[in-house]
């Protein structure tokens, strides 16, 4: 970005911050957020539940196609260098083989636009896909085999003989560090905040903590493997993908294959977990290239090992947190700096300071992320990138400081509760973190804790409790758009290129649309997961609900306007303006005169219309620069640490959340719990073993890469304030990621309370407690 | 997975005849072997399914039990006689893997399962088990789960089984059948230490079949336990496990059995510790001395030094608790 552009941006930002609320999306509170007894917030079972239980929900690898071939990938075994020889003769001669594709015969492809390079870009990296003999990471695909069956393809790929020449490559943190760090950026912004001289204020503070916290690399392990079933129909590409970004995938594929966006049709009706990983990686591109070469449809299901090799995860971090405080607990300085790794072929910095920007008031701040580059699979978004690991460091440090001060850690947090965003000065849209702490602490029984570490024992087990703040921002990305089709029977269909990855999106939005239109649930059909529908909607950043919601608000307003026009002068609604009516009992009614109504069926019938179709595009997300919008949670954990073996078992967990309005109590509770369980994995076991000699991940399986099993997961209680955010669509801020945040610190703080030992390196394995 | 032939053995003779063919492997539940085939670590040309053979658990005339090699892990752990007379064995089996895997896994297969060393599992790595003489990438790599006892520069892998630790403590014997007839060997002699030839993991001769495991009459039932320490609450291999049985005569240790899992290339019978315990008072300090005696030769690698302290603690604590328990039979 040029200096002029930067200056322009700064001016714009200021203007948006200072503009009157009414000019900003969310300036007029969504009337829906006030509905207390209708469908909003109701505990409704997911509408796709029966389909899934019956095995009828079709996932990407389950779409039938005529003449299908099956793909297998061959991965490189060096981290950097070139392929010096490739012998595919045996593989080509193996039974059932249709095609062996390598860089020698792959079709010429354009570079993959990586995430962030364009709003629609979805590539995990920008390495040319099988276009030359160069190797960029250990695990990069070097060949694709298509065969008549999966077993044949798998076998044939093992027959390919590859020889490499290793050329340098940086695979150890020390070597990467030696190359010198670069400043980290996230979403186009430098990850750097400096307010006053934090180091000086820290040095002068009477009470302080200063420690380094480390988190290891993590890999994605959604239960549904990354997969696609695809075919070329002439120059058109049809892809059944497992993706959290159908429109992004279609656009990005069109760039790679140098065709028009409209020539790529992506569907993804069900996704078996994404967490940030189900975007565009090499497998879809390779499958499409091979399909073109072979002239046959292709199914690719990446193996579990393959997911570790070609789909990036969360990068390791090394974070310093230093807090200087007065005796009464008031913060003079918050310093949160450190290092993370990325690659030469991506632009994703694990932004571990983002939560610290708005968490606490302090006289001074120094927040900064440095990056160094490793030759490894491109790291990427993983549930709450930044916050998940950043809150481990920050919230551990808060606990350390509370112990230093002899203060209750909740009281210390409360003492530093900011009145406005402490680093950008914006007003909070709504902030109920204190309420969440209060109700959570009561429910958990926090006041009964013994603050002395190592003082509570039950047989062999040392028992301790800990807490931490969870936090995740409200996001909304540009591009939301929706279509509403209302028909004469009074049924509504909503179409939007959004995603159902198991979160309950389809169910929650059926509820929202039904409530908005005044229909019953069975009168609304929510269609999604298809590029035939409008919208550029990423199921990521916990922003999908806001993106859908804001698009539907606009489409709905158009619908009401059109309906009033159609209703004309013979309607009881004659003369009313869109703002004066709302959806009720299958039609429109005057808001302050509920008897003055006409049903949708009646309006359409009189106008002799079978259907009425409208589309709406969400406004640009200016609210993000006008208010500081954040969700919070108070996380409470009880652990038992075996005094003999050091084994840690979490025996109780409670999350008390403030995330705006909750749209569906049941699916929301599942999201919170799922996030917390993933957080327990982060705290206690997840650890991708990256061999620094070779750059190879050595535990690429669910047997050796540990995630929690049922016995690791205690009863988890969740509760929420349900306080609407007046500036978010439906009053709801998004709940997909917050559950994982704060968990690492809550567990580590509980372990400290149980044992008197501070573990600052995740995961907290038993050897660290012996 | 490399294509292979599959034959289901009708009887022992048929199995041995098929097993003598070049490239043949016996197949139990397949929970380990088939994984290794998928990872292209094992490439049998012929799988001889022996799960139809030796599916009985029988009382022996001496008062012990004879468990057929084809009996599933779940069936062994659930057998009333095993639970009453050899609770140590039932506990060890139930501490391993998952219910689904135990439903498939056989006694013979469990005994012959391969190590979980990541470098053994990755054909891009150097491994003396897979390619003798190639070198070992585990020695200076990730070796948290590796051996502290009896390892060699050629191999630092561990035997991962829980069941086998109990069998070592119980002084079981194994019945083998080969082309030239049968033989019976002590369970403790079945698995080998790696030495210079880590690719040779057991005393089995080519084509030899395990047909049964025999448990002697004394099942240590009165005072025995299996304790497993792992990285998560279930479905993880042992970092360290202890199978222990103790006989006390007026506070003095009579017969004692101690075996360790997760520490060596074979289920580790703790002879040095046993010798330090026999005939001595059952006190914590004696237990500690015994643990020290056993672990004196232990050598840590980069990531597994904690196992020495962990093993010490678990041995002592297990014995302390055993000494305290009321006799259960
Ligand atoms: C994810 C996972 C977790 C696990 N966790 C644990 C754990 O915590 N603890 C634990 O102890 N185990 C664990 N296991 C291992 C499990 O116990 C073994 O896979 C199982 O016992 C092997 O038995 P099988 O019958 O399936 O053997 P197979 O896979 O069929 O065979 C294994 C080997 O034995 C040979 N073989 C089989 N039967 C005979 C015979 N009668 N004579 C001669 N050779 C024979 C085969 O040729 C092969 O070499 C785990 C496995 C997995 C996959």
Q: Mean pLDDT across the stretch A212-237? A: 98
* Residue A553 · residue A615 · CB < 8 Å: no
**Full DSSP string of A109-165:** -PPPPBTTSSTT--BS----TT-SSEE-STT-EEEEEEESSHHHHHHHHHT-EEEEE
* Residues in contact with A64: Cβ distance below 8 Å, sequence separation at least 6, in sequence order: none
Task: For B290, list phi and psi in degrees, rounded to 5.
Answer: -65, -45
CA A623 distance to own-chain centroid: 20
Q: A757 at the B interface (CB within 8 A)?
A: no
Structure tokens at B243: 């199978």
Q: Mean pLDDT across the stretch B93-97? A: 98
Residues of B in contact with A759 (CB under 8 A): none
* Protein residue closest via CA to atom 6 of ligand 1: B97
Centre of ligand 1 to C-alpha B72, Å, is 10
**Full DSSP string of A69-80:** EEEEEEE-SSSS
Residue labelled with tokens 């490894």? A376
Q: Which atom of ligand 1 is nearest to the CA of B28?
A: 30
pLDDT for B63 equals 97
Question: Smallest CA–CA separation between B144 and chain A, in Å?
Answer: 10
- Residues comprising chain B, all counted: 329
Residues of B in contact with A704 (CB under 8 A): 116, 118
pLDDT for B327 equals 58
Question: Smallest CA–CA separation between B179 and chain A, in Å?
Answer: 33
Return d(Cα A257, Cα A123) in angstroms, integer.
Answer: 13
Structure tokens at B52: 């139809």
Counted across chains A and B, CB pairs separated by less than 8 A come out at: 76
3-state SS of chain B is CCCCEEEECCCHHHHHHHHCCCCEEEECCCCCHHHHHHCCCCCCCEEEECCCCCCCEEECCCCCEEEECCCEHHHHHHCHHHHHHCHHHHHHHHCCCCHHHHHHCEHHHHHCCCCCCCCCCCCCCCCCCCCCCCCCCCCCCCCCCCCCCCCECCECCCCCCCHHHHHHHCCCEEEEEECCEEEEEEHHHHECCCCCCCCCCECCCCCCEEEEEEECCCCCCCCEEEEEECCCCCCCCCCEEEEEEEEEECCEEEEEEEEEECCCCCCEECHHHHHHHCCCECCHHHHHHHHHHHHCCCCCCCCCCHHHHHHHHHHHHHHHHHHHCCCCC
pLDDT one-digit tens code per residue, A637-670 = 999 999 999 999 999 999 999 999 999 999 999 9
pLDDT for A557 equals 96
Inter-chain residue contact A711 with B233, CB threshold 8 Å: yes
Q: Mean pLDDT across the stretch A210-233? A: 98
pLDDT one-digit tens code per residue, A387-434 = 999 999 999 999 999 999 999 999 999 999 999 999 999 999 999 999
Q: A644 at the B interface (CB within 8 A)?
A: yes
pLDDT one-digit tens code per residue, A285-326 = 999 999 999 999 999 999 999 999 999 999 999 999 999 999
* Domains, chain A, ordered by start: 60-168+223-273+278-310 (3.90.1170.50), 317-475+625-769 (3.30.365.10), 477-620 (3.30.365.10)
pLDDT for A6 equals 76
Task: For B249, list phi and psi in degrees, rounded to 5.
Answer: -125, 100
Structure tokens at A63: 């779409």
Residue labelled with tokens 């069998």? B167
Sign of the dihedral defined by the CA atoms of residues A99, A102, A103, A109, in that order: positive
Task: For A678, list phi and psi in degrees, rounded to 5.
Answer: -65, -35
Beta strands in A223-353 (DSSP E): 227-233, 236-241, 264-267, 298-301, 317-325, 331-342
Centre of ligand 1 to C-alpha A30, Å, is 60
Q: Which atom of ligand 1 is nearest to the CA of B44?
A: 47
* Protein residue closest via CA to atom 35 of ligand 1: B109
Rama region for A660: left / alpha / beta (φ>0; ψ in -120 to 50; rest): left
Structure tokens at A27: 């300036």
Q: Which atom of ligand 1 is nearest to the CA of B164?
A: 11
* Residues in contact with B131: Cβ distance below 8 Å, sequence separation at least 6, in sequence order: none
Question: Smallest CA–CA separation between A433 and chain B, in Å?
Answer: 33
Tell me the helices (H) and strands (E) count for chain A, helix number first.
18, 32
Q: Which atom of ligand 1 is nearest to the CA of B92?
A: 11
* Protein residue closest via CA to atom 51 of ligand 1: B97
Does B328 have pLDDT greater than 70? no
* Residue A497 · residue A536 · CB < 8 Å: yes
* Residues in contact with A395: Cβ distance below 8 Å, sequence separation at least 6, in sequence order: A468, A469, A742, A745, A746, A749
* Residue A546 · residue A474 · CB < 8 Å: yes
pLDDT bracket for residue B329 (50, 70, 90): very low
The contact set of B with A (CB < 8 A) is 1-3, 38, 40, 116, 118-119, 122, 124-125, 137, 140-142, 229-236, 239, 306, 309-310, 313-314, 317
pLDDT one-digit tens code per residue, A462-497 = 999 999 999 999 999 999 999 999 999 999 999 999
Closest CA to A743 of A685, A679, A695, A648: A679
Centre of ligand 1 to C-alpha B2, Å, is 20
CB under 6 Å to ligand 1: residues?
A: A 703; B 25-33, 35, 50, 69, 96-97, 101, 104-106, 108-110, 112-113, 160-163, 209-210, 237
If one counts every other C-beta atom within 10 angstroms of the C-beta of residue A93, the result is: 11
**Full DSSP string of A709-758:** -GGG---EEEEE-----TTSGGGB---TTGGGTTHHHHHHHHHHHHHS--
* Residue A144 · residue A74 · CB < 8 Å: yes
**CA dihedral defined by A268, A272, A277, A282, rounded to 10 degrees?**
-60
pLDDT one-digit tens code per residue, A65-85 = 999 999 999 999 999 999 999
Does A605 have pLDDT greater than 60? yes
* End-to-end Cα, chain B, rounded Å: 50
Question: What does the angle CA A438 – CA A439 – CA A443 come to, to the nearest 5 degrees?
Answer: 120
Q: Mean pLDDT across the stretch B148-153? A: 98
DSSP bridge partners of A495? A483, A527
Please classify residue A404 by burial: count the beta carbons closer than 10 Å to its beta carbon, then call 0-12 exposed, 13-18 middle and 19+ buried.
Answer: middle
Q: Mean pLDDT across the stretch A231-241? A: 98
Give the chain A residue whose CA is nearest to the CA of B32: A703
Q: Compute CA distances B264 → A730, B192, B201, whole Å.
A: 60, 10, 12
pLDDT one-digit tens code per residue, A747-760 = 999 999 999 999 99
Among the partner-chain residues A154, A647, A696, the one whose CB lies closest to the CB of B124 is A696
Question: Smallest CA–CA separation between B37 and chain A, in Å?
Answer: 10
Angle, to 10 degrees, between the axis of helix A743-755 and the axis of helix A665-684?
Answer: 50
Q: A459 at the B interface (CB within 8 A)?
A: no
Inter-chain residue contact B116 with A77, CB threshold 8 Å: no
Share of chain A above pLDDT 70, in %: 100
Which of B138, B232, B309 is the mutation pick for testing A, counting most A CBs within 10 A?
Answer: B232
Task: For B52, list phi and psi in degrees, rounded to 5.
Answer: -80, -15
* Residue B247 · residue B254 · CB < 8 Å: yes
Q: Active-site residue numbers of A?
A: 737
pLDDT bracket for residue A201 (50, 70, 90): very high
CA A14 distance to own-chain centroid: 28
pLDDT one-digit tens code per residue, B64-88 = 999 999 999 999 999 999 999 999 9
Return d(Cα A564, Cα A547) in angstroms, integer.
Answer: 26
Residue labelled with tokens 């075919």? A231
Inter-chain residue contact B232 with A767, CB threshold 8 Å: no
* Residue A468 · residue A474 · CB < 8 Å: no
* Domains, chain B, ordered by start: 5-51 (3.30.43.10), 224-328 (3.30.390.50)
**CA dihedral defined by B246, B247, B252, B257, rounded to 10 degrees?**
-40
* Protein residue closest via CA to atom 52 of ligand 1: B97
Centre of ligand 1 to C-alpha A535, Å, is 51
Please classify residue B57 by burial: count the beta carbons closer than 10 Å to its beta carbon, then call 0-12 exposed, 13-18 middle and 19+ buried.
Answer: buried
Q: Which atom of ligand 1 is nearest to the CA of B210?
A: 42
**Residue in B108, B165, B201 to alter for ligand 1 test, most ligand atoms within 8 A of Cβ:** B108
Share of chain A above pLDDT 90, in %: 96
Structure tokens at A765: 């394995």
pLDDT one-digit tens code per residue, A501-534 = 999 999 999 999 999 999 999 999 999 999 999 9
Return d(Cα B103, Cα B212) in angstroms, integer.
Answer: 18
Question: Smallest CA–CA separation between A720 and chain B, in Å?
Answer: 30
Averaged pLDDT of chain A: 96
What is the SS3 assignment for A463?
strand
């Amino acid at each position: 970005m040029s200096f002029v552009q930067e200056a322009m941006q700064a001016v714009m930002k200021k203007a948006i911050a200072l503009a009157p609320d009414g000019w900003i999306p969310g300036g007029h509170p969504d009337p829906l957020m006030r509905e207390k007894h209708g469908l909003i917030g109701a505990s409704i079972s997911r509408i796709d539940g029966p389909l899934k239980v019956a095995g009828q929900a079709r996932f990407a690898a389950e779409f039938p196609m005529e003449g299908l071939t099956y793909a297998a990938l061959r991965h490189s075994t060096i981290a950097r260098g070139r392929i010096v020889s490739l012998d595919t003769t045996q593989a080509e001669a193996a039974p059932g083989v249709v095609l062996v594709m390598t860089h020698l015969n792959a079709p010429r492809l354009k570079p993959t636009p990586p995430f962030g390079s364009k709003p629609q870009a979805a590539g995990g990296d920008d390495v040319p896909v099988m276009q030359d003999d160069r190797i960029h990471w250990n695990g990069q695909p070097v060949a694709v085999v298509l065969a008549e069956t999966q077993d044949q393809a798998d076998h044939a790929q093992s027959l390919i003989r590859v020889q490499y020449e290793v050329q340098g490559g940086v695979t150890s943190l020390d070597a990467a560090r030696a190359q010198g760090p670069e400043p980290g950026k996230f979403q186009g912004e430098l990850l750097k905040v400096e307010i006053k001289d934090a180091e000086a204020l820290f040095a002068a503070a009477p009470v302080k903590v200063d420690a380094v916290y480390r988190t290891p690399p993590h890999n994605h392990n959604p239960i549904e493997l990354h997969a696609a079933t695809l075919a070329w129909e002439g120059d058109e590409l049809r892809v059944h993908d497992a993706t959290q970004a159908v429109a992004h995938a279609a656009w990005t594929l069109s760039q790679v294959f140098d065709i028009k966006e409209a020539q790529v049709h992506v569907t993804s009706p069900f996704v078996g977990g994404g967490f940030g990983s189900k975007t565009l990686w090499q497998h879809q591109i390779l499958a499409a290239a091979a399909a073109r070469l072979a002239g046959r449809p292709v199914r690719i299901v990446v193996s579990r090992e393959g997911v570790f090799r070609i789909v990036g995860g969360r990068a390791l971090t090394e974070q310093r947190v230093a807090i200087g405080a007065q005796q009464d607990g008031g913060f003079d300085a918050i310093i949160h700096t450190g290092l993370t790794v990325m690659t030469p072929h991506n632009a994703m910095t694990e932004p571990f300071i983002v939560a610290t920007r708005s968490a606490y008031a302090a006289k001074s701040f120094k927040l900064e992320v440095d990056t160094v580059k490793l030759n490894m699979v491109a790291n990427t978004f993983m549930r709450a990138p930044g916050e998940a690991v950043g809150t481990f460091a920050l919230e551990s440090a808060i606990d350390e400081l509370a112990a230093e001060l002899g203060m209750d850690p909740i009281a210390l947090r409360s003492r530093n509760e900011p009145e406005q965003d402490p680093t950008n000065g914006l007003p909070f849209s709504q902030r109920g973190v204190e309420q969440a702490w209060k109700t959570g602490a009561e429910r958990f029984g926090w006041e009964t804790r013994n603050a002395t570490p190592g003082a509570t024992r039950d047989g062999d087990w040392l028992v301790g409790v800990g807490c931490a703040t969870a936090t995740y921002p409200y996001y909304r990305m540009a591009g939301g758009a929706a279509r509403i089709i209302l028909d004469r029977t009074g049924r509504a269909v909503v179409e939007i290129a959004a995603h159902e990855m198991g979160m309950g999106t389809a169910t929650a939005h059926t509820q929202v649309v039904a409530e908005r239109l005044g229909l019953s649930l069975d009168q609304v059909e929510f269609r999604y997961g298809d590029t035939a529908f409008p919208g550029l909607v990423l199921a990521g950043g916990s922003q999908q609900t806001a993106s859908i919601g804001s698009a539907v608000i606009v489409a709905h307003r158009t619908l009401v306007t059109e309906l009033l026009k159609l209703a004309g002068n013979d309607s009881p609604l004659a003369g009313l303006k869109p703002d004066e009516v709302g959806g009720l009992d299958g039609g429109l009614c005057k808001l302050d005169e509920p008897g003055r109504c006409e049903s949708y069926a009646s309006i359409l019938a009189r106008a002799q219309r079978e259907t009425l179709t409208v589309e709406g595009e969400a406004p640009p997300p200016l609210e993000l620069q006008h208010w500081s919008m954040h969700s919070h949670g108070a996380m409470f954990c009880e652990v038992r640490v075996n005094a003999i073996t050091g084994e840690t078992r979490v025996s109780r967990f409670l999350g008390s959340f403030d995330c705006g309005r909750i749209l569906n109590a049941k699916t929301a509770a599942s999201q919170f719990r799922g996030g917390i369980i993933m957080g327990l994995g982060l705290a206690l076991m997840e650890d991708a073993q990256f061999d620094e000699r070779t750059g190879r991940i050595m535990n690429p399986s669910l047997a050796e890469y540990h995630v929690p099993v049922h016995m690791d997961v205690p009863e988890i209680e969740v509760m929420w304030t349900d306080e609407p955010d007046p500036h978010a669509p439906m009053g709801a801020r998004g709940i997909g990621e917050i559950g994982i945040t704060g968990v690492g610190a809550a567990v580590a703080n509980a372990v400290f309370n149980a044992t008197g030992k501070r573990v600052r390196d995740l995961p907290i394995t038993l050897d660290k407690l012996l | 997975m490399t294509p292979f032939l599959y034959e289901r053995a009708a009887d022992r003779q048929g199995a041995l005849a098929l097993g003598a063919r070049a490239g043949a492997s016996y197949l139990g539940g397949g929970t380990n072997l088939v994984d290794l085939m998928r990872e292209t670590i094992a490439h049998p040309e012929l799988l001889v399914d022996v799960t139809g053979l030796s599916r009985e658990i029988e009382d022996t005339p001496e008062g012990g039990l004879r468990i057929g090699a084809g009996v599933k892990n779940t069936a062994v752990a659930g057998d009333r006689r095993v639970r009453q007379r050899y609770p140590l064995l039932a506990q060890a089996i139930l501490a391993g893997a998952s219910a689904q895997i135990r439903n498939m896994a056989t006694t013979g297969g469990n005994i012959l399962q391969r190590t979980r060393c990541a470098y053994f599992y990755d054909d891009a790595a150097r491994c003396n088990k897979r390619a003798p003489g190639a070198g070992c990438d585990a020695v200076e790599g990730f070796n948290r789960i590796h051996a502290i006892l009896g390892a060699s520069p050629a191999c630092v892998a561990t035997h991962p089984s829980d069941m086998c630790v109990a069998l070592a403590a119980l002084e079981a014997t194994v019945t083998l059948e080969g082309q030239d007839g049968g033989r019976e060997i002590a369970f403790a002699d079945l698995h080998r230490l790696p030495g210079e030839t880590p690719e040779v993991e057991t005393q089995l001769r080519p084509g030899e079949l395990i047909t049964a495991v025999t448990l002697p009459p004394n099942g240590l039932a009165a005072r025995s336990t299996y304790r497993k320490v792992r990285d998560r609450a279930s479905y993880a291999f042992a970092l360290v496990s202890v199978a222990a049985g103790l006989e006390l005569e007026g506070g003095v240790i009579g017969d004692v059995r101690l075996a360790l899992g997760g520490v060596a290339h074979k289920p580790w019978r703790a002879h040095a510790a046993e010798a330090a315990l026999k005939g001595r008072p059952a006190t914590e300090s004696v237990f500690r001395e015994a643990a020290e005696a056993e672990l004196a030769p232990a050598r840590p690698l980069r990531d597994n030094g904690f196992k020495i302290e962990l093993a010490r603690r678990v041995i002592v604590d297990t014995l302390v608790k055993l000494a305290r328990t009321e006799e259960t039979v």
